[in-house]
Amino acid sequence: MAGRFYITTAIDYVNATPHIGHAYEKVLADVLARYHRLAGEAVFFLTGTDEHGQNIANAAAQAGEDVQAFVDRNAAAFQQLCRDLNLSHDDFIRTTDRRRHWPAVQEIWRRVAAAGDLYRKHYRALYCVQCEAFVTLSELVDGRCPRHLTEPQVVEEENYFFRLSRYRERLRRLLEERPDFVVPESRWAEMLQLVDSLEDVSVSRPVEKLAWGIPVPDDPGHVVYVWFDALTNYVSAIGFGRDEERFRAWWPAHHLIGKDINRFHSLLWPAMLFSAGLEPPRQVLVHGFLTLEGQKISKTLGNVVDPMAVARELAQRSAAEVDVCVDAVRYFLLREVPFGQDGDFSRAQLVARFNADLANDYGNLLNRTLPLVERYFEGRLPEPGPEEGGDRELREQAVGTVDAVWECVQRCDFQRALLSIWQLLGAANRYLDREAPWNLHRAGRRDRAGTVLTNTLEALRVATVLLEPVLPTATLKVWSQLGYPEFEERARELRARGEPYRGTGLGLDDARRWRWLRPGTRVRPGPPIFPRVEEERPLQVQEAVADEALSLEEFRRLDLRVGRVVEARRIPNTDKLIEVRVDLGREVRTIVTGLVPHYQPDDLVGKTIVVVANLQPRKVRGVESRGMLLAAEWDGQLALVTLDRELPPGARVS
């Protein structure tokens, strides 16, 4: 149905407690849900827990607990994670929900059986308990499951099988006719390659082997196998089998999942739906995995990260509120990890993003502007005058940013969406420096100074509307300082009642409206929302001695990368320093460089340069610099090292 957006996460397996990987998927889904609400769409956002299967029964037995008590306790931990991350989900489904989920699973089963797609078969096969899936010899690596590195069990039993092979051709047509059915394209291509080799799959287990599950209709000797059970949550939560009108209103869904379960969602699940006479999902969005400081996240390695522990640690180091630091974790995950690719979670990189992006660029723009309104206009937003100078350029960039961000979000390109917002913030900072309202006020041009301050705050307001899905708590604090505390008060009331906060109610159309702020509104400057994290150790930079020969191995330690300058601004109260933002392909770095008077900030934007990317970070005039631009100097002249042909940002220089 037009104007509706149904987004789901994979339901989390409750054999252990949640970690940063679970948080990543939930934040992605939440940000999508919030952006679609900004676009004026009706949204339903579902998450939940998968609570049946052999793994669960084994884990409960090892813990010495009743299985239901075990899943209740662990499901509560995932529900708490949703609250901690300030998710805006509309429902949390549990597969042990006998009122909502069980009837839907049994109805799907009956429909698939009626279509002639279920049959019983006695067989002997290899079964990976951790995957809750049967595996073939060709899938094993050195006799082990490639994902869990465990030897599969040999299982011999009689189960029900689903005729997945019957749907090969229909699934192929689905993939070929809808190239956006699986995103990104690489994951779509994987499914297209798999589809012709699909075999029938087991969809039940005998009760004597596994009693913890949903009974098969009309056969109490079997329970429904976990994937046939788990996948059905996407329709059970919206009323399938109970409220057909509600189900039809929301289905089909956009599924957000990890790459390891792509084949279940992109092949098995659509085939089940075809068999049951239902539409396939609208889209399967496949994200990559997180590593931690370059290592796989694993309970065995003991490096499972609690996202709330990270947020509390950041709060302690920065003196920011914990919820603001939760927002910083959300921001980091979207800004650092390209959608569909694997990414690394690093505490050092989190601090760098917090300082450079949130404290310096976003927070500092607010902290620079509001005190001027307080000083020159008795703390009330001034009435803006006619456009002149750089006013029109800033307005056009702000309005254009709204469409650029929305276009990126629809492609799940969150990095580019955020980069567009930060380009607007950079433009607003440069506009404020260039127009210099303090000089205008000193020269008696009070009205013009007020226009400049209002325009700067308008650009910041547009950025704040666009950042609400990513920073749902911090943006409320920005609104309060801008003179609109009612948004934060309403959110506080909702959370006190245990209800999720889903947004201010403002939308993309509000963001496009220039001069939305009401003149005369009392601003409320306050302490920095993102107080900088001060480094705990001094910078250690080793400089090469000119006459000292380097070995080839020493030279190879340098990580030289192609970079493209996307923003540049003078650092106030310095003679030579420029803060540049350099796109290195997978990230945008802040680098401080002393190029004045050879270059001015506007000379640098758009240049393709060479960057030393693996220098230790250093603080220069309160700005964290992460890298060095290469330049040549001769006889008082200085020139940046550039390329004689275009290469993409991030390309290695050797």
Q: Write out the catalytic residue numbers.
A: 19, 22, 128, 131, 145, 148, 296, 299
Q: Which helix (H) or strand (E) holds 43?
A: strand 42-50
The structure tokens listed for 357 are 């992006």
The structure tokens listed for 562 are 């192609």
Measure the CA–CA gap between 421 and 567, rounded to whole angstroms.
12
Facing residues of 134 across strands? Answer: 127
- Given a contact cutoff of 8 angstroms between Cβ atoms, the answer to whether 163 and 121 are in contact is no
**Strand runs (DSSP E) across 163-228, as ranges?**
182-183, 201-202, 204-206, 215-216, 219-224
Measure the CA–CA gap between 588 and 420, rounded to whole angstroms.
12
What Cα–Cα distance (Å) separates residue 637 from each residue in 125, 135, 599?
A: 74, 66, 11
Chain centroid to CA 125: 39
Helices 474-482 and 322-336: angle between axes, nearest 10 degrees? 120
- Given a contact cutoff of 8 angstroms between Cβ atoms, the answer to whether 126 and 136 are in contact is yes
Q: Which helix (H) or strand (E) holds 154?
A: strand 153-162
- Given a contact cutoff of 8 angstroms between Cβ atoms, the answer to whether 78 and 18 are in contact is yes
Instruction: Please choose, from the candidates 423, 411, 302, the residue with its C-alpha nearest in 3D space to the C-alpha of residue 357.
Output: 423
Instruction: Please choose, from the candidates 21, 15, 10, the residue with its C-alpha nearest in 3D space to the C-alpha of residue 306.
Output: 21
Q: Which residue has the tokens 């239902």?
A: 278
Strand order in the sheet with 215-216: 204-206, 219-224, 215-216
**Residue 540: how many other CB atoms lie within 10 Å:** 7
Instruction: Please choose, from the candidates 321, 170, 160, 324, the residue with its C-alpha nearest in 3D space to the C-alpha of residue 229.
Output: 160
Instruction: Please choose, from the candidates 528, 526, 484, the residue with its C-alpha nearest in 3D space to the C-alpha of residue 505.
Output: 484
Measure the CA–CA gap between 345 and 20, rounded to whole angstroms.
9
Measure the CA–CA gap between 173 and 178, rounded to whole angstroms.
8
Measure the CA–CA gap between 585 and 483, rounded to whole angstroms.
38
**Residue 386: how many other CB atoms lie within 10 Å:** 8
Instruction: Please choose, from the candidates 126, 217, 127, 112, the residue with its C-alpha nearest in 3D space to the C-alpha of residue 167.
Output: 112
Buried b / exposed e over 497-519, threshold 16 CB at 10 Å, is eeebbbbbebbbeebbbbeebee
Look at residue 432 and give its three-state secondary structure.
Answer: helix
**Residue 256: how many other CB atoms lie within 10 Å:** 27
C-alpha triplet 108, 112, 116: angle, nearest 5°: 165
